[in-house]
Amino acid sequence: MRKIIFLLIVLSFVIAGCRALAEENLPDPGTLPDSTFYFLKSWKESIQTFFTFGAENKVKQYLHLAEVRLAEYQKMIEKGKTEIAQKTLDKYEKRLNHATQKIEELENKGKDVKNISKELLDITSKHINILERNLQKVPETGKEGIKKALDAAKKEKDSAVTKPASEIIEKDTLVISDDLWFDGEIVKIKNNFYRMYFEEKGVVYSAISSDGINWTQEAGSRVEGTMPALLELPNRRTRIYYQRIIDGKEVFLSAISEDGLNFQKEEGVRLSAGDAYDSLGIKVPNIIKLPNGGYRMYYAGKFSEPRAPEGFKEMILSAYSDDGLNFRKEEGSRINSESIHSGALWSPYVIYENDSYVMYFTAGTRDLLKSGIYTANSKDGLSFDIPTLIVGRDPSLGNQLIKNEFGGVLGAPEDPFILKSDSRKFLYYWIGGKGIFLKILPV
């Protein structure tokens, strides 16, 4: 079976409601398919393609022709000529298939396809927007061709062969320069695509990527709330946990989705603030499935402490659930402020590997140069050893206390998230005023 790489996977999100936000103009189509002289245009294109040499140049030629076909398709839709539009769309899809085949040929020969693949993704992101709009305009008979092509793509069983660009980076890399995208969590979806859920101004959005570095924001929002945490469920379902304020109290709620895009809120509250170590609030949940069954939620609890410089402290706490919905708080703290002389600990992210729990979390320390992302290990997921700093504050800032607009220490890494591959471990983290970074960790 022929492999259709990430292009058609992206296109399949049309039916699911995904839409890339960035849109550019299509080229001038010139002579249109309803013209008696259209055959001359087709003849000219065939000659140009024949004399285009080199696989990468061929890809660019096919992408250009796909753009022209889509521009023609758009014009036919505007004219109400849906039958001609459908035939033109068939030609558009063939050109895209030709482009993906050529990329596969390049990759099978060991060539670097990162740049041409990125060009493909950028172009199709624009096309998705146009196709989605047209799906709302054309009659049902005009939609059949698109649905048929997308259904055929979904039946492809072979996964993408593109090696993630994140596999070859050598140093900390800024992957998202928008510093308003934060509290990000990433899930791997089919065919080596990734989806990031992130918070921006009190709403959770999502973005997709084929390499973990270049991200395209998807249309619409996922849920109204903050601090998203993801739990993958059977049958490709996804549960998202998030924070809201109800009657003046911070709580965690949840919603569930069949496609990762459209979420339905679940009844009830997963966890509420109000106990000794979270009397002032609960923040940034992280949920893992335990090896022997059940679920554990790690989160930051904020409580009053008159002796602290700012009048409060934050510690990493936990809660247990049999079903992922009804949580009961566990006694004590998982990481307390005294272990690293910190008054603020938050954003825990825990993974279970090699019969051990590894927690990554953020700490704001009295020695500002030691503020940043720490890691600690545990055999039972409850008692963690002494934390170790793995990503610290920018040394050029010294010990000068400058806060970012969200209350964190300017220049200090926050909000860690771990993405694992077969051979590497990737740490994503956020720095206020800069954005989201990617760092390779030793396995």
How many Å apart are CA 16 and CA 38, to the nearest integer? 35
How many Å apart are CA 427 and CA 171, to the nearest integer? 11
Instruction: Point out the domain boundary residue: 125, 154, 183.
Output: 154
What's the domain count of the chain? 2
Statement to judge: residues 171 and 150 lie in one domain: no
Instruction: Point out the domain boundary residue: 154, 184, 200.
Output: 154
Statement to judge: residues 297 and 355 lie in one domain: yes
Sheet of strand 295-304, all strands in order from the earlier edge strand to the far edge:
281-289, 295-304, 312-321, 327-329
Taking the CA of residue 419 as centre, how many other CA atoms within 13 Å lie in the half-sphere pointing to its CB? 25
As given in the structure block, the two tokens for residue 414 are 């926050």
pLDDT for the residue 287 = 97
DSSP assignment letter at 234:
G
Statement to judge: residues 131 and 246 lie in one domain: no
pLDDT for the residue 168 = 41
Statement to judge: residues 367 and 424 lie in one domain: yes
| 309 vs 360, higher pLDDT | 360
Q: CA dihedral defined by 204, 208, 214, 219, rounded to 10 degrees?
A: -60
Q: What is the mean pLDDT of residues 23-44?
A: 85
CA-based nearest residue to 102, from 41, 43, 53: 53
Q: What is the mean pLDDT of residues 360-383?
A: 88
Statement to judge: residues 212 and 307 lie in one domain: yes
What does residue 183 show for φ and ψ, rounded to 5 degrees?
55, 45
Domain that holds residue 427: 165-441
How many Å apart are CA 122 and CA 67, to the nearest integer? 12
| pLDDT tier for residue 382 given thresholds of 50, 70 and 90 | very high
For the chain, what percent of residues have pLDDT higher than 90? 38
Least confident of 122-131, 191-200, 356-365, 409-418: 122-131
How many Å apart are CA 299 and CA 319, to the nearest integer? 8
Tell me: the pLDDT tens digits for 278-323? 999 999 999 999 999 999 999 999 999 888 777 888 999 999 999 9
Element (H, E) at 41: helix 38-50
Statement to judge: residues 199 and 145 lie in one domain: no
pLDDT for the residue 94 = 86
Statement to judge: residues 150 and 257 lie in one domain: no
In 141-293 the beta strands, taken as DSSP E runs, fall at 173-176, 182-189, 193-200, 203-209, 216-217, 223-224, 226-232, 238-246, 249-257, 263-265, 271-272, 281-289
Statement to judge: residues 138 and 205 lie in one domain: no
Q: Is 49 helix (H, G, I), strand (E, B) or coil?
A: helix
Statement to judge: residues 101 and 72 lie in one domain: yes
Residue 160 placed within a domain: no
Residue 159 placed within a domain: no
CATH code (residue 255): 2.115.10.20
**Residue 362 pLDDT > 70, yes or no?**
yes
Statement to judge: residues 198 and 146 lie in one domain: no
Tell me: the pLDDT tens digits for 154-183? 333 232 333 444 444 456 788 888 777 888
Per DSSP, helices labelled H in 55-139 are 55-79, 82-108, 114-137
Residues 342/363, Cβ–Cβ less than 8 Å: yes
Sheet of strand 388-392, all strands in order from the earlier edge strand to the far edge:
342-353, 356-365, 372-378, 388-392
**Residue 3 pLDDT > 50, yes or no?**
no
Residue 404 placed within a domain: yes
Tell me: the pLDDT tens digits for 97-147? 888 788 878 777 777 766 777 677 677 767 766 666 666 666 666 666 565
